């Protein structure tokens, strides 16, 4: 299987729970070991909170899914039109270009709405991925509510 066999599209309302399961499982594997209990609890509250789900349902929190034979293997979402809020790809699908394709989908969406940049608060695990796509650090690494992140910005269109 290659990343090109994976379908990337906007998430449907009924896919919310399955998408958040992929996010949580991947977070626990790659992010949580660095964050401790406070960070894990804060992240879980964020993805399981009713507010985020309601924003998704009314279209204010657009989300994309990567599908392999109708199974969600990647999830990405934007807040405030151009800020990557979530980007998680199932471990078995890493290094297939799925993350890059999800970022490109979000960038197209942001550009259609007039934004020429994407921003993200990258986890330590995600930093090499974002740097490889051309994101630049826009601040030093920070820690809030147990979550460690580096603010980054992408000012140029991704090359496909």
Q: Tens digit of pLDDT for each residue in 48-80? A: 999 999 999 999 999 999 999 999 999 999 998
Where would I find the H helices in the chain?
A: 16-30, 32-48, 50-57, 98-112, 127-133
DSSP state of 125: T
The mean of the pLDDT values for the chain is 93
Instruction: Specify the pTM.
Output: 0.93
**Mean of the pLDDT values across residues 75-90?**
95
Q: What is the C-alpha separation between 86 and 61, in angstroms, rounded?
A: 10
CATH 3.40.630.30 for the 3-154 domain, yes or no? yes
pLDDT value of residue 81: 86
DSSP state of 157: P
**Half-sphere exposure (Cβ direction) of 92: Cα atoms closer than 13 Å:** 10
Q: What is the C-alpha separation between 96 and 11, in angstroms, rounded?
A: 20
The answer, yes or no, to whether residue 2 has pLDDT greater than 60, is no
Q: How far from the centroid of its chain's Cα atoms is residue 120's Cα?
A: 9
pLDDT value of residue 4: 57
Domain boundaries, the chain: 3-154
3-state helix, strand and coil shares in percent for the chain, rounded to the nearest 5:
45, 30, 30
pLDDT value of residue 23: 98
Query: Band of the pLDDT at 95, cuts 50, 70, 90?
Result: very high
**Mean of the pLDDT values across residues 5-13?**
95
């Amino acid at each position: 299987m290659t990343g090109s066999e994976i379908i990337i599209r906007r998430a449907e309302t009924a896919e919310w729970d399955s998408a958040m399961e992929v996010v949580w499982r991947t977070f626990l594997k790659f992010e949580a070991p660095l964050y401790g209990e406070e960070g894990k609890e804060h992240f879980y509250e964020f993805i399981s909170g009713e507010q985020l789900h309601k924003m998704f349902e009314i279209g204010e929190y657009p989300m994309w899914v990567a599908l392999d034979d109708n199974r969600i293997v990647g999830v990405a979402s934007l807040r405030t039109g151009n800020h990557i809020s979530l980007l998680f790809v199932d471990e078995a699908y890493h290094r297939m270009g799925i993350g890059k394709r999800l970022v490109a989908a979000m960038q197209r969406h942001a550009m259609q709405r007039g934004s020429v940049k994407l921003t993200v608060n990258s986890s330590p695990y995600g930093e090499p991925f974002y740097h490889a796509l051309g994101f630049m650090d826009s601040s030093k690494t920070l820690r809030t509510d147990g979550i460690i992140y580096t603010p980054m910005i992408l000012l140029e269109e991704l090359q496909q």
